[in-house]
Structure 1
Amino acid sequence: MKAFLLILLYFFLVSCNKTEGEFNPETIDQNIEPETMDQNIEPNKIIVFDSKFSGLVDLPMDEGGEHKAHPLTSESNSGLGFYAYTPGGYYDNEKNYPLILFLHGSGQSGTREFPQLLNKVLEHGPPKLIENNNWKPTYPSLVVSPQSEGDWTPESVHHFIEYLIDTYRVNTKRIYITGLSMGGRGCWFYEGEMGYDSYAAALVPICGRGQPSYVKNLVNTPIWAFHGADDTVVKPFTNNGSFQMVNEINANGPIFEAKLTIYPEVGHDSWPRTYDSSGMGTESLEYDPFDMTIYDWMFQFRKE
C-alpha cells in the first residue's frame, strides 16, 4: 500500500512540473481542421453564378401585384420617400423575394416638403413599366424606387436598403441595383465606396459616370453597363464614362468580367430601350451583345 501511494505521488509531481503550453501529443484533438489563411473576404460579398436560379423557381408566379407610394414623412425612418412594388402572391406566403432597387436620374428628384413630387419617379425605368402594366420579368421580385433630394450618396442608399430588409421579406442574397444617369453614377459610387459592406449581388448602371479609384471594390461584383455612343451629357468614352470604367475593371482581374453595351447614334436617353429590352438587336457589334433582359442577367447572380 505504501509503495502504491509513492507511485501516485511521483506522477502527481511530474504532471505539476510540466510547462504551460508544452507540446503533448496525447492532448491533440484529431478532429480540428488546420487553420485557413485569412483572405480578407467577408462572406456577404462572395458572389456566385447561379444558373439554376436558386430560391426563385419556387416563388409563385407574378400575375400582377401592388405598386404603392410611400411619401417621406416626419414619422418615416426610411430616410427617403419611395414607390414599392410587391408582386402577386407576396402576401400569400412567407418566402423571401429578390429586390431590384431603381435609382432615378436628376430630373426625378424631390423634397420632403413636396411629397406630391414622388410621382416623378414613375417617369422612367421599372416603375414606369409597372405603372403601364408592362412589367413581366421571368421571376417575381420586389421593385423599390426611392426618391432623392440630390445626388445619391452611398450612405443614404445603404441605409435605405437596410430599412427595406427590416420592412419587407427581402432575400438578402439577391439584391440588385440599377439606375440611369445620376442613378447610374449612384450605382458606381455605392459599390465603389461600400465594398464588402455592399448589399448588391449585381449592378446595371446606365449612362452614368464612375470613379476609377473605386475599381478595387468594383472587381468583386458583376456589372453590365449601358450607354449611348452619342451621349453628350455623360460621355461614354471619356471623363470616366462607361467605356473607361468597364475597361479599368477588366484590366484589374474581376471575379466576373464587366460587360458594356453601346447603342450607336443614341444620345443620353439610352435607358428606355434597356429597361424594356427594345434595344436588343440595335446595339453596336463592337461591344457586348444585348442578348438577354437585364433582369434575367441580374438573377443569374447571388451571394453565397
Structure 2
Amino acid sequence: MKYVTIILTCLGLSLLFTLNACDKDSNKAIEEEKELPAESPDNNNKDKVADYSDIESLPADTGGEQLAYLKGTTAASYGYYAYTPSAYHQGTEEYPLIISLHGAGKRGDGTDLDDLKKVLWLGPGNLIKKGEWNPTYPAIVVAPLTATNWDAKKVHAFIQYLMDTYRVNKQRIYLTGNSMGGFGTWNYIQEYGDQALVAAIIPICGKGNPDLAHQFTNIPVWAFHGIDDNTVDVYGSIDMVKAIKALEVDLTYTPKLTLYPGVGHDCWTMTYDGSGMGQGNPNFDAFDMSIYDWLFRYKKE
C-alpha cells in the first residue's frame, strides 16, 4: 500500500508539472501572438534633430497656478482647468501647450466646480495638484471636461480658443489622453491629419482606426497600452501602430509603441508620472525617457 501511495503521488506531481508546463506554453503563445518584430529601444531614426532654441530661454517654472474655468464662463465649449507657469504673468514669452483628455469615468458637463475637479484625478493636472510637476521646460497645461465622447471638431475649436486666449507657442501644442481620451487623441489626427494644430500626440490605452493610418504620415506618435487591458484591447494600439508603419510612404516620424506586461486598463498613471519607466515589453519601444521631454523634441513646421 505504501508503494501504491508513492506511485500515485509521483503520478500526481508529474501531472501537475505537465499542466504547469502547458499553462506556461499557453501563456507564452498568447504573449507571442501580441508581439511585433523586435525593434530598437528608440526607432525614430528618421526624426529631425530636436531644436529647443525657442524654449531654452523660457524662465524656469518654480510653481505656477492651476485655475478652474467653468463651462459657460468663457467662450470655450468645455469647462477646463488651466495651469500657467510661475513667470507667465510677468513676461511676454510664448509657452508650449499640453492638453490632456480624460477617460469615460470622469465625464461631466463642467458647470460646477465639484464636477470639474474630476479632471485633476489623472494626467499632468494631477501631478500639478500634487506638486510633482517638473518637466524640463515650462508649459501651459490644460485639462478640459466633456459629458460625451471627445468630438474631433470640438477639440479642434477648443485648441483654437486656447491659442487665442493664452500666449501659446503655436509650433508646440501637444495632445494626450487616456482610455476614451486615447480614442479622442487618435481621432483628432484621423479627422485633421496635416491640418491638425498639434505637433505630437501620446494616446494611452485608446484605439485608432487603421483605415485612417494615412493621416499620421507627418505626426509623431507614442502610444502606450497594458497588455492585460480588459476594457480596451491592446490591439487597439498595436493595430494602429502597425498600420502606420505599413504605409507605402516615407514616414516623417516612425510611431512608437510601449506595452506593459501584466498591466490592465490603468496604464496611464505609470505613464504620466513616469513610474512605468523600464517596465515595458522589450519587444516594443522602451519607456526610457519622460513623455514630456519626448513631446518637447517636436515642433510643428
Sort the TM-score into its range (normalised by shorter chain). 0.7 to 0.9
Q: Of residues 248, 267, 270 in structure 1, which corresponds to 2:243?
A: 248
Once residues 50 and 86 of structure 1 are traced to their aligned partners in structure 2, the CA distance between those partners, rounded to angstroms, is 28
Equivalent residues of 1:49, 1:302 under 8 A apart: no
Q: Partners of 2:277 and 2:111 in 1: how far apart?
A: 40
Q: CA deviation at 1:303?
A: 1.3
- For residues 88-126 of structure 1, the C-alpha deviation after alignment (integer angstroms, 9 at most, x for no partner) is 111111011000000000111111554530000011110
Q: 1:64 to 1:219 in 2, by over 3 A?
A: same
Deviation per CA, 1:240-266: give whole Å up to 9, x if none.
Answer: x10110010011132100000000000
Which residue of 2 is the match for residue 111 of structure 1?
Answer: 109
Other-structure match for 2:264: 267
What is the deviation of 1:82? 0.2
Amino acid at match of 1:52: D
Q: Residue 225 of structure 1 corresponds to which residue in structure 2?
A: 223
Matched with 1:290 is 287
- Mapping of 1:1-304 within 5 angstroms? 49-73=48-72, 75-112=73-110, 114-237=112-235, 241-252=236-247, 253=249, 254-304=251-301
Residues 70 and 116 of structure 2 are in contact (CA less than 8 Å); yes or no, is this contact kept in structure 1?
A: yes
Q: 2: CA distance between counterparts of 1:278 and 1:107? A: 22
Unpaired runs of 5+ residues, structure 1, are: 1-47
> What's 2:18 paired with?
none
What is the Cα deviation at residue 200 of structure 1?
1.0
**Superposed displacement of residue 213, structure 1:** 2.1
TM-score after normalising by structure 2: 0.82
How many equivalent pairs are there?
254
The answer to whether the Cα contact below 8 Å between 2:206 and 2:237 also exists between their aligned partners in 1 is: yes
- Give SS of 1:222's match: coil
Q: Give 3-state SS (helix, strand or coil) of 1:49's partner.
A: coil
Amino acid at match of 1:301: Y
5+ unaligned residues in a row in structure 2: which ranges?
Answer: 1-46
Following TM superposition, by how much is the alpha carbon of 1:76 offset from its aligned partner in structure 2, in angstroms?
Answer: 2.5
String of CA shifts for 1:52-106, please: whole Å, max 9, x gaps. Answer: 3121101000010000000112x52101000000011111110110000000001
Structure 1 equivalent of residue 5 of structure 2: none
Higher helix share: 2
SS of 2:299 mapped into structure 1: strand
SS at match of 2:154: helix
Supply the distance in 1 between the matched residues of 2:75 and 2:131 (Cα, whole angstroms).
30
CA distance in 1 between counterparts of 2:103 and 2:67 reads 20
1:208 partner SS: coil
Cα drift, residue 195 of structure 1: 1.5
Equivalent position SS for 1:117: helix
Partner of 2:16: none
| Contact persistence 1:50–1:301 (CA under 8 A) | no
Question: Once structures 1 and 2 are overlaid, which stretch shifts more, 75-84 or 200-209?
Answer: 75-84
Aligned-partner Cα distance in 2 for 1:140–1:200: 17
The alignment yields a C-alpha RMSD, in angstroms, of 1.4
